[in-house]
Chains A and B, each alone.
Chain A
Amino acid sequence: MASLKFNNIYLNDWLTISGPLESNSKLKKIDLKMDDYYYGAKTFEQAEAKMQNVVIQKLLERNKLTYGDIDFLVGGDLLDQIGATNYASINIPISLLGIYSACATFPESLIIGSMILNDRSVKKIVGVTSSHNLSAERQFRYPIEYGAPRPHTSTFTATAGISTLLSRDIGKIKIESATIGKVTELGIKDANNLGAVMAPAAARTLYEHLTDLKRPLDYYDLILTGDLGCIGGTIFKEYAYKRYNLKIKKHLDAGCELYVKSQETYSGGSGPACLPLVLFNKILTTNKYKKILIIGTGALHNKTFVNQKCTIPAIAHAVSLEVE
């Protein structure tokens, strides 16, 4: 059994900060905005830590909460040793659980937060995640000013930070159930086609979710995958049909829904912040969908293993959300 059901656990509030490119994209609403990639910090890595720190502080401020009201902080990011989350938490006296599932970190934070909230003595949890285009470029690809030609299958790491507030108090969105993914790889080695790396993991988690909870595909108004990109999204649907006989119709991919064409991001956006950014600042603003299944997809890309000619494994976690 890979799935869990939750009782009365709600996503009460959230706050996002979006980068310069994201603020002028297909998003319908902007919470906080960064005018440049440094965000007043000395380096891009420090800027990412600051983004996380700010979204946590502002979320607490808006809900009139103090650090003492929050029992646990659950979060992670893409940087080595989840550096952004660790440095963001230096001046935040809340017990921290650092997590990593690459770009599936956001649903993982919701799942772990909801699991902790099953304990009745726990009142409130804050989840946090982020990605920063330039700190990710530096870590995973080339120096920032180096102009390596990119293939059309490549995606663009979104710059954003997201914080969420979880509790048992009735709120806007109910976290109804979740499925924890299994590591999946189908022999793809191309770090410029991460959509193809992650698509089988997303399809597998979707299939296990539906099987475990005995639900038909049209139970959901929308299946929102994290950052497969436009090309990865097509591969996902085709693979799900051929492998699991799932004919997916009501599907959107957050990566494909983020940028406009002139922003030249090729297959679309990616990064742990991509899925929550599109979910909160685009999908939920429309009030069109009641039952949403989000599937965060993470390419477990490790440079050392890839250099040693290993394939890239992927993982996908799904969370079922019910909009009240």
Chain B
Amino acid sequence: MNKDEYQKLVKELSPKEPKLRNAFVAFLVGGLVGFIGEVIVNILMESFGLSRVDSYAWLAFILILFATFMTALGKFDNWVAKAKCGLIIPTTGFAHSVQSAAIDYKKDGLVTGIGANIFKLAGSVIIYGIISAFFLVLIKVMLYG
């Protein structure tokens, strides 16, 4: 039995991930986060007289605070296990990755632990986010001046 045959055997005997179901759950949960966000934005605009732009800034702050707090309480990872990418893709996922790394490396020292590792997971999002933003702006400037 060569490597290709073995990989075929492994594929045959390993259960398939329910991708469609996972995507559907992520769609619903992600949509729900978006819906709650929109409700919060409207409340901020109506009741606190904030502009739409300011309300979005406050909304990001509220969602990040909520995800960070729930990660610290040890709840958020259990929710992610059920909701899959529905909670990882929104800003809550970013907050969760930073906070979980911070908790994990606390005991390894302020510099060698937290400092060196807090962006272990989020680092990729930041670096590739910045690079993609740069190129998108470049394209926009070239097309529309």
Residues of chain A at the chain B interface (Cβ within 8 Å): 42-43, 138, 142-153, 186-188, 193, 196, 200, 231, 234-235, 238-239, 242-243
Contact = CB atoms under 8 A, between A and B. Distances in A.
**Which of B9, B74, B80, B121 has most A Cβ within 10 Å?**
B9
B74 A145 contact: yes
A153 B14 contact: yes
Interface stretch (B33-41, B94-102, B126-134): B94-102
Interface in B128-144: none
13 contacts: A138-B104, A143-B103, A143-B121, A145-B71, A146-B100, A148-B80, A149-B22, A149-B81, A187-B3, A188-B6, A234-B13, A239-B9, A243-B1
Nearest to B72: A145
Given A142-B121, A145-B74, A151 B17 contact: yes
A43 B72 CA distance: 17
B13 A152 contact: no
B111 interface: no
Interface string B83-115: 011011000000011011101110100000000
**Which of A148, A231, A242 has most B Cβ within 10 Å?**
A148
Contacts of A145: 71-72, 74, 76-77, 99-100, 103-104
A146 B3 CA distance: 34
B100 A186 contact: no
A147 B96 contact: yes
B90 to A, nearest CB: 14
B51 interface: no
B71 to A, nearest CB: 5
Contact of B77 (A146, A193, A238): A146
Contacts of A234: 13
Given A186-B6, A188-B7, A152 B15 contact: yes
B47 interface: no
Given A152-B15, A187-B3, A144 B104 contact: yes
Interface of B: 1, 3-4, 6-7, 9-10, 13-15, 17, 22, 71-72, 74, 76-81, 84-85, 87-88, 96-97, 99-101, 103-105, 107, 120-121
A32 B4 CA distance: 45
A200 B9 CA distance: 12
Contact of B97 (A146, A235, A238, A239): A146
Contacts of A231: 13-15
Nearest to B5: A242
**Which of B4, B10, B104, B107 has most A Cβ within 10 Å?**
B10
B10 A193 contact: yes
B84 A149 contact: yes
Contacts of A187: 3-4, 6-7
Nearest to A150: B81
Nearest to A244: B1
A231 B11 CA distance: 11
A205 to B, nearest CB: 16
B120 A143 contact: yes
Given A239-B1, A242-B9, A147 B77 contact: yes
A63 to B, nearest CB: 36
Contact of A144 (B1, B10, B15, B100): B100
A152 B17 contact: yes
Contacts of A43: 107
A153 B11 CA distance: 11
A147 B76 contact: yes
Nearest to B101: A143
A68 B106 CA distance: 40
A187 B9 CA distance: 12
Contacts of A235: 9-10, 13-14
Contact of B7 (A42, A146, A186, A238): A186
A42 B81 CA distance: 27
Contacts of A144: 77, 100, 103-104
A242 B107 CA distance: 49
Nearest to A242: B1
Contacts of A150: 81
Contacts of A146: 77, 96-97, 100-101, 104, 121
